Chain A
Amino acid sequence: MNNRLKVLRAMNDWSQAELAAQLDVSRQAVNAIETGKHDPSLPLAFRIARLFNMPIEEIFDDGHE
């Protein structure tokens, strides 16, 4: 699944570790999501969406229209 997490993080001038601390996950988890190695669970996806104040589908894209 594609996502804009890296771009959104850069727009907020946060490091992976800073974002991870806000999401209550490890930096490795943020890196894995950004690189597409790990698809977040729904609860984590909602936490990410709330943090950036955006709908989930504007952050994550499953490739379907």
Chain B
Amino acid sequence: MTDTNDMIEQSPPGLMSKIIRFAAMIALGLVFVYALGFLVGVSAAALDNGRLTLKTVGLLLGCLAVLGLSGYGFYRLWPRRDREEPVSPKVERTRWSLIAALGLGMAIGVALTIPMLSGESGGVFSNDPIPATTALSIVIAYAVLTPIGSYFWHRNADEFEREASGRGALLGMYAYSVVAPSWWLLERADLVPEQDPMIVFLLVMTVWGVVWQIRRSD
């Protein structure tokens, strides 16, 4: 049972505000991952050196501040209504599998930030060489955990959630079918730089994720 106010439907937010909200959440998530990776890297370097300088303390405090602000911003942007409502065990399991996927993505982001701090890599999404142990660890974790997580999610997601994800995946596939050959042709004509698989990957995943979230939101 619920009170009358709970029964009144609020007018749904417009498409533009949804896009801005999701874009802000993605940006804050990336800032959080970078800050976490920076914090881990600076801490590891300080432990290696065996001394804590004023500069290191300042960097660590700065990282913690950025982590706190980006984490709080992400928390505020997360749909609040979801946290207070009753959910079935199946829906709860779906949410946990998404949280686990987010955690895996963050762990990979942090792992890729660490070589950047030692000057071995230009950034999380750069094509610079990284240590073989880092690459192998990430590939093993990603290639093993992603199919398990996906299977778990598909077993528990309801039909509307699967439909929203499927529509996002289809549009992501369309985006890929346009971007990959177009870039390849333009590259052959020497009009654009060499095709970067990570840019294409991120573009497809962004289209998938944004369409999925917009479709499933009110």
Contact = CB atoms under 8 A, between A and B. Distances in A.
A18 B160 contact: no
B82 A40 contact: no
A18 B2 contact: yes
B218 to A, nearest CB: 5
Contact of B85 (A15, A32, A41, A44): A15
Contact of B6 (A15, A29, A32, A33): A15
B163 A26 contact: no
Interface in B90-106: 90-91, 94
B145 to A, nearest CB: 24
A38 B89 CA distance: 22
A38 B160 contact: yes
Contacts of B158: 24-26, 29
A20 B218 contact: no
Interface in A21-44: 21-29, 31-33, 38, 40-41, 44
Report the contact-size class of chain A (Cβ under 8 Å from the partner): 20 to 34
Contacts of A21: 86-88, 91
Interface in A1-32: 10, 13-18, 20-29, 31-32
Contacts of A38: 159-160, 163
Interface string B200-218: 0000000000000000111
Given A24-B91, A26-B94, A13 B1 contact: yes
A35 to B, nearest CB: 8
Interface residues of B, number: 21
A17 B87 contact: yes
If over half of A's interface residues share one DSSP class (helix, strand or loop), that class is named, otherwise mixed; here it is helix
Interface string B121-141: 000000000000000000000
B178 interface: no
A43 B156 CA distance: 15
CB-based closest 7 A-B pairs: A17-B85, A29-B160, A25-B158, A21-B86, A24-B88, A15-B2, A15-B6
23 contacts: A16-B85, A17-B87, A18-B1, A18-B2, A18-B86, A20-B85, A20-B88, A20-B91, A21-B86, A21-B87, A22-B88, A24-B88, A24-B158, A25-B159, A26-B160, A27-B85, A27-B87, A28-B160, A28-B216, A28-B217, A29-B158, A32-B160, A44-B159
Interface of A: 10, 13-18, 20-29, 31-33, 38, 40-41, 44
